[in-house]
Amino acid sequence: MAELKTLRSERWLGRDDFRTFNHRSRVMQMGYDKKDWEGKPVIAILNNWSDYNPCHMHFKHRVEEVKRGVLQAGGFPLEIQTVSLGENLIKPSALLYRNMLAMEVEEMIRAYPADGVVLMGGCDKTTPAMLLGATSANLPSIFLPAGPMLRGNWGGKTLGSGSDAFKYWDDKRAGIISNDEWDAIVGGIARSHGTCMTMGTASTMTAIAEALGMTLPGASSIPAVDASHQRMATNVGRRIVEMVAEDLRPSRIQTRDAFLNAITVAMAMGCSTNAIIHVIAQARRAGHDIGLNDFDRISREIPVIANVRPSGTSQYLMEDFYYAGGLPALMKRLGAYLRTDVLTVTGKSIGENIADARVFNDDVIRPLSNPVYAEGSLAVLRGNLAPDGCVIKPSAMSEKFLVHQGPAIVFDDYPSLKAMLEDEHADITADHVIVLRNAGPKGGPGMPEWGMIPISQRLLKQGVRDMLRISDARMSGTSYGACVLHVSPEAFVGGNLALVKTGDLIAVDVPNRRIEVRVSDEELARRRATWEPPKPRFGRGYGWMFSEHILQADEGCDMDFLQTSFGETAGEPDIF
């Protein structure tokens, strides 16, 4: 254990002055004795629980198991409740508040007596938000993933959250299933606490946290209700006390090689498109210039080998992935593609952590010789429609749209798009390219998950289930289809997407990574001369601050003033 003089918490609790008297008296007011903290590292447990967040409902219990581990290892645990971003209920977008949670995490770590930090999260934006804050604060930190929920069930069929919701919603709109059947699906698709059990953003980001070295080995895919999850929580509590003694901080773990490992693993997992935004933001917080080119380069090298929805056509979900060996087994199979000497929260290297990993089901975690998809999960496209890039997920779309050209049908807002989608007489064909704009970081606001635009009522009844759709929005990691997302710069700030007109031909060529609107530069310039920016979305509060300082999707949607390149770091002042 660390000596008292090396502990940051001593500045609050270990001195002989009036301020320390006040701090100690207030800790004793909570029923603690000085024996609880003297000579012990104080461990802040940042718990992302709330009644609004079904993914984290078990955190009320897990926090006690973390505390047990801390106490067993000789630490003093104190819990801090954070802003909780429950993806499905929060409006207009959880991404709008990701940076607010990241700021809270960073400031709470700085503000309170803490020598080490346990980060409890998992629902989509909570993982990157908490890691962003901990990266900037740079105290010894370990992440505890919430874990996926149990697989869904309806009428003997396995249901995957998100993916099957979209599928059966289309069937309901097409008249294939009844209202009663739909109600049964609603009640059967989410059967326990935990995050989405498909390879959505939640499982993507917890896998990335593990690949980065910020979780215990295998922690990212343990089902939330499995007893192994409880044991993992206690092990997290024990390990953070040891990390304090070793002064093992995120800055030692989150190297550029660690982020390249994370991208490699994400591509092999069939990751969510949201991974690009979060990884770029976190890497730049850690001082590494990771960008879209890194994702695209690695995507061309790494096949998808995790046979988990929405990639592939199987029935497999995260529960199956865990019992097939989980992330350590997948990383072992990736072998030479990883930089195995990088450090992790265990104090050991990635290579040491996965040395004994085994694959127990070759159909769930495929060999490199038999991938689900020959390239990685995502592809980055560029062209006059997206000069700074956009993203598509080829592993979860119809192959016929990998190269496609068609006339645009353009919408400036979601309500007008929705009206067309529900119009059975709408003038639209499967060859059209639907364009939704003003749904990006500033325009959404907060870049909502509107990018998986539903198929129109008319086309659904013709049997159409996929078509090309383009937007500056995001889509859920559980989504699928030929959806071009994150168009940068966004239309709201004058990106070329703002200049497209209905009838313009749009061409997408995924193999060659191109996206173009077939309009001359001269014509685009004429249109730009008459373009007027929309009115700001916010006039006050956090929304105003977000709009004033948010970066574009290709830069990670971080706040400009939160990046390491902004201003100078003066260190932590001794204000006591």
pLDDT value at residue 6: 79
Mean pLDDT of 356-370: 97
Amino acid present at 375: E
Please report which confidence band the pLDDT of residue 2 belongs to, taking 50, 70 and 90 as the band edges.
very low
Q: Say whether pLDDT at 4 is over 50.
A: no
Residue pointed to by tokens 């995490």: 105
Q: Say whether pLDDT at 57 is over 80.
A: yes
Residue pointed to by tokens 């645990």: 77
Angle (nearest 5°) at CA 471 between 289 and 186 = 105
Instruction: Give the model confidence (pLDDT) of 275-289 as tens digits.
Output: 999 999 999 999 999
Q: Quick one: which H or E segment has residue 171?
A: helix 163-173
Q: Which residues are CB-contacts of 383 (< 8 A; sequence separation ≥ 6)?
A: 514, 515, 516
The 3-state secondary structure of 173-226, one letter per residue: HCCCCCHHHHHHHHHHCCCCCCECCCCCHHHHHHHHHHHHCCCCCCHHHCCCCC
| CA-based nearest residue to 479, from 447, 449, 457 | 449
The 3-state secondary structure of 461-515, one letter per residue: CCCCCCCCEEECCCCCCCCCCCEEECCCCCHHHCCHHHHCCCCCEEEEECCCCEE
Task: Give CA–CA dist 49/193, Å, rounded.
Answer: 12
CA dist list (Å): 428 to 189, 362, 436, 462: 32, 43, 15, 12
Q: Quick one: which H or E segment has residue 328?
A: helix 326-334
Q: Which residues are CB-contacts of 160 (< 8 A; sequence separation ≥ 6)?
A: 151, 152, 189, 196, 197, 198, 309, 310, 317, 478
Helix (H/G/I), strand (E/B), else coil: 411: strand
DSSP string computed for 101-163 = HHHHHHHHHHHS--SEEEEEE-STTHHHHHHHHHHHH-SSEEEEE--BPPPEEETTEEE-TTH
Let me know: does 109 contact 117? Beta carbons within 8 Å.
yes
Q: Which residues are CB-contacts of 384 (< 8 A; sequence separation ≥ 6)?
A: 496, 516, 517, 519, 521, 524
Instruction: Give the model confidence (pLDDT) of 520-552 as tens digits.
Output: 999 999 999 999 999 999 999 999 999 999 999
Q: Assign domain 379-530 to its CATH superfamily.
A: IlvD/EDD C-terminal domain-like (3.50.30.80)
- The ranges of the chain annotated as CATH 3.50.30.80 are 379-530
pLDDT value at residue 558: 97
Instruction: Give the model confidence (pLDDT) of 455-470 as tens digits.
Output: 999 999 899 999 999 9
